[in-house]
């Protein structure tokens, strides 16, 4: 995976707010989980920007994001709970883009996308 250009202010926010004082994979995963839980303003509309074999969403489909998936589902990747076709289930946040979200929600989604694009891992 190619790495995106370094964004110093985003790197500082991630280091100082999200993974600060985290030692090991589990703590970094939970740092991300609680950051997203606190900064994503639920519910919000989103569209699928990348199909994934673990998700029924197709590129371009819309869904309502209603919360974070349970912590246990987010130990390796961040999942959000969506309401889609009268069902509620978890999908990877990385496959979604917010639609007309608040500034805070947009920034949190972009922080996570940046982390993944840079090839960082928990």
Sign of the torsion formed by the C-alpha atoms of 27, 3, 95 and 18: positive
State how far the Cα of 104 lies from the Cα of 89, in Å rounded to an integer. Answer: 23
d(CA 34, CA 49): 24
DSSP result, 25-47? HHHHHHHHHHHHHHHS-SSEEEE
Comparison of pLDDT for 11 and 4, the residue scoring more: 11
pLDDT for the residue numbered 85: 84
The predicted model gives 14-25 an average pLDDT of 93
The pLDDT of residue 3? 64
């Amino acid at each position: 995976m190619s790495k995106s250009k370094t964004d110093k202010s985003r790197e500082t926010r991630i280091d100082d707010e999200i993974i600060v004082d985290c030692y090991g994979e589990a703590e970094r995963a939970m740092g991300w989980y609680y950051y997203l839980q606190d900064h994503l303003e639920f519910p919000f509309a989103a569209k699928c920007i990348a199909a994934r074999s673990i998700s029924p969403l197709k590129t371009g489909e819309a869904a309502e994001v209603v919360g974070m998936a349970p912590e246990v589902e987010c130990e390796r990747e961040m999942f959000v709970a969506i309401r889609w076709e009268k069902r509620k289930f978890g999908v990877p946040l990385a496959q979604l883009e917010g639609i007309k979200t608040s500034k805070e929600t947009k920034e949190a989604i972009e922080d996570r996308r940046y982390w993944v694009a840079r090839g960082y891992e928990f």
